[in-house]
Amino acid sequence: MEKTDIKHNWDKMARAYESFTNGKDSYSNLIEWKAIKTIIPDLKGKKILDLGCGTGRFSFLFEELNPSHIIAMDVSEEMIEIGKKIAEEKKFNIQFIQNDIENLSAINSNSIDLIFSSTTLHYIKNLNYVMDEISRILIPGGTCILSVIHPVYSACYPVSHNNGDFPKDEEWAVKYLDKSIRAYIQPWIEYNPEIENFLSYSYHHTMSDYINSIVKSGLQIKELLEPTPPEDWEKSNPGRYYGFIETPTYAIFRAEKTY
């Protein structure tokens, strides 16, 4: 899977993604952010690096916690441009950078207080390398919060046919130890009549892949959250509620650099 494919896909999906994740039933708002807020350290006067920032959704939320500086980085040029425009409108001082997060050589060692990433690491093939770089960049005592697509969920992504064919419904089934590249239609594409369906590609990492890459980098895992859906969904939207209970979407790690 080429990086150019990921960049091209996210450039095409940027506006559809921004609209979808701003919806009233947004998983990002109602489930992911609600959990993340419980493990965020004091950010006043701190430096933050948001890896795979997309259009800046979480960077904007962090900005309200009075950090000294935020660097928001994403491979998609279109995502970055949307983020810059929103930041300008909100008068937020966020430094948006279009860059592959597998190349962090421009960031000084021991320079960032909080490194954050949301649902990005399943697009990264070499977790160990990225985690080593995260460890290098963090200050001693710094915090890393990684919100990843839950391995149970990414295990359901259909395996790529390698010929561009779209997966059938029955191919959305758990293949937990299969490390083949996955190919699927994103929901913000599938349910958006204004954009043509096309495949997205990503990797599937197991829970041990994530845990081992963090531990081998020298960071210490302090907490792991597996957030549940809003309780009122059980009555108002039982299909979504029980679907989430069966296949959780997020696993959120909090790790620290202790040396």
Per-residue pLDDT of 62-101, as tens digits, reads 999 999 999 999 999 999 999 999 999 999 999 999 999 9
| Mean of per-residue pLDDT scores for the chain | 94
Q: Region 51-59: what's the mean pLDDT?
A: 96
pLDDT at 53: 96
User: CA-CA distance, 128 to 213, in Å (whole number)?
Assistant: 5
pLDDT of residue 71: 98
Q: The whole model's pTM is what? A: 0.94
- 40 vs 11, more confident: 40
Strands, E, within 75-137: which ranges? 94-98, 112-118
pLDDT at 20: 79
Question: Is the per-residue pLDDT at 47 higher than 90?
Answer: yes
C-alpha Rg value of the chain to the nearest Å: 18
CA distance 83 to 53: 9
- pLDDT at site 16: 84
Average pLDDT of the segment spanning 123-149: 97
pLDDT band at 9; cut points 50, 70, 90: confident
Determine the Cα–Cα distance for residues 147 and 250; give it in Å rounded to an integer.
7
Mean pLDDT across 3-31: 83
b (16+ CB within 10 A) / e for 7-31? bebbbbbbbbbbebbeeeeebbebb
Rounded CA separation 241/232 (Å): 9
pLDDT band at 168 (very low <50, low <70, confident <90, very high): very high
What distance in Å separates the CA atoms of residue 13 and residue 17, rounded to the nearest whole number?
6
Domains of the chain: 3-150+205-234+248-256 (3.40.50.150)
User: pLDDT class for 188, splitting at 50, 70, 90?
Assistant: confident
Pick from 95, 203, 187, 103: nearest CA to 149? 203
- Dist. CA 102–CA 99, nearest whole Å: 9
- Buried b / exposed e along 167-181 (16+ C-beta atoms within 10 A): beeebeeebeeeeee
pLDDT, tens digit, for every residue of 192-208? 777 888 899 999 999 99
Residue-wise pLDDT tens digits, 96-125: 999 999 999 999 999 999 999 999 999 999
Measured CA to CA, the distance from residue 124 to residue 101 in angstroms comes to 9
* pLDDT range class, residue 1, cuts 50, 70, 90: low
